[in-house]
Structure 1
């Protein structure tokens, strides 16, 4: 019986979600960001969820592919990874915001053990990333 309890405890801990955020300093005059398109990311709605998060906090977001537009002061780089368990789901994401190459904010979302037996692992990108974006941009309304 004690082995069953120990195994269940390990599985429960393995299913934890880890979110780490270094928020944007609300003293920054960040009214617009440029999101550097990452073609390796195959989470279809990830950029849209980020754009919505910036807009919700009063920050315009522009997506660019190659050359950084000269008017861009704040650049957003990101990665998002999917895992598969009957269907694909977001299991890891990182967002970095830099100002002229200097890191000003970052956020990481990670499903420990790729979500294990937690049924919440299949929630959509928006449900997972909106709270992360809100923490990242907490000083902006």
Structure 2
């Protein structure tokens, strides 16, 4: 038995690479800054001044929302998350005051857990944004759309 000759090109064609079209490096960097600016704002103003945590994402989102779609998305996400966390903190303080300080036994552990979750989720979001992934924070009120 003989092997029939191949019909077609004798040289193998190079494989095609999938082209990933996503945000550019500058967009990813600004999205990273949108998330990390919440950390910087909290460090500068202190964790008790709630406005510092969402002031940075607000400024970056307002400056870059029209020119960079990825920064627009991630800036809104960071802003919504930090506003949600600020609302939670204000609610915990109000509950503590209404209960004449006795509620602190419940609100302090909740506040501590929320603070750790805020830190971890902000860092995860910054890493994902730097990779070009649209990150969505869990348990976030979508106030700005």
Give your verdict on TM over 0.5: no
TM-score after normalising by structure 2 = 0.29
Higher percent of residues as strand: 1
Higher percent of residues as helix: 2
